[in-house]
Amino acid sequence: MDQDEILLDAEERMEKAVNVLMNALKGIRTGRANPGLVDSVRVEYYGSPTPLKQIANISCPEPQQILIRPFDATTLDNIARAIIASELGMVPNNDGRVIRLNVPPLSTERRKQMASRIKELAEEARVAIRNVRRDANKHADTAEKEKTMAEDDCKATKDQVQDLTKKYENSVNEKAASKEKEVMEN
């Protein structure tokens, strides 16, 4: 791998780590109804676990309510079971056509649990970013040993990878702090 390939690969993989964090943070509740709370719930659908958003229309008609309207009415019971199993802390109300989820207000204890979960997710993202840095540095060292990259280029590549690492770690920290503040305020 040459210098540009190493940097491009590292940046793409670090960006993916941040995107995974963002998707995980969408599912953390803030006391308001949000379709992102149930998007990633996996429902048993014809023998395979399927994301809820692929088999139902999810909306929020009221600030404290999520409405799930499945495309296939026979999946209502499976959806209700999946929501209960997901430990979201919400009880599904099934009326035969749609499922309504009332979003209860968050207790202080639950807010603290969510804040600690946010910190765990952020740390997982930072670890993923550091693993990408390690891999990129290893590629640079290998290229130098194989004489396909000069020593100065190897050092410059490692410096640029470190700059990318700092940039993406700061992005993770900002997103986690923002979500934590949002959870603790409401």
Whether this prediction's pTM lies above 0.75 is answered by no
The per-residue pLDDT for 8 is 94
The per-residue pLDDT for 79 is 93
Q: Which CATH architecture has domain 35-102?
A: 2-Layer Sandwich (3.30)
The per-residue pLDDT for 64 is 86
Q: What are the mean pLDDT values of the chain's consecutive 10-residue runs (186 residues total)?
A: 90 95 81 79 90 92 90 91 83 91 82 88 95 95 92 93 96 94 81
Query: Domain 3-26+107-185's class?
Result: mainly alpha
Q: What letters, b where the CB count within 10 A reaches 16 and e where it falls short, cover 61-82?
A: eeeeebbbebeeeebbebbbeb
The per-residue pLDDT for 23 is 86
**101 Cβ partners below 8 Å, 6+ apart?**
33, 38, 65, 66, 67, 68, 83, 88, 90, 91, 92, 93
Task: Count other Cβ atoms within 10 Å, centred on residue 52.
Answer: 24
Q: Say if residues 37 and 66 touch (Cβ distance below 8 Å).
A: yes
Domain ranges of the chain: 3-26+107-185, 35-102
The per-residue pLDDT for 186 is 62
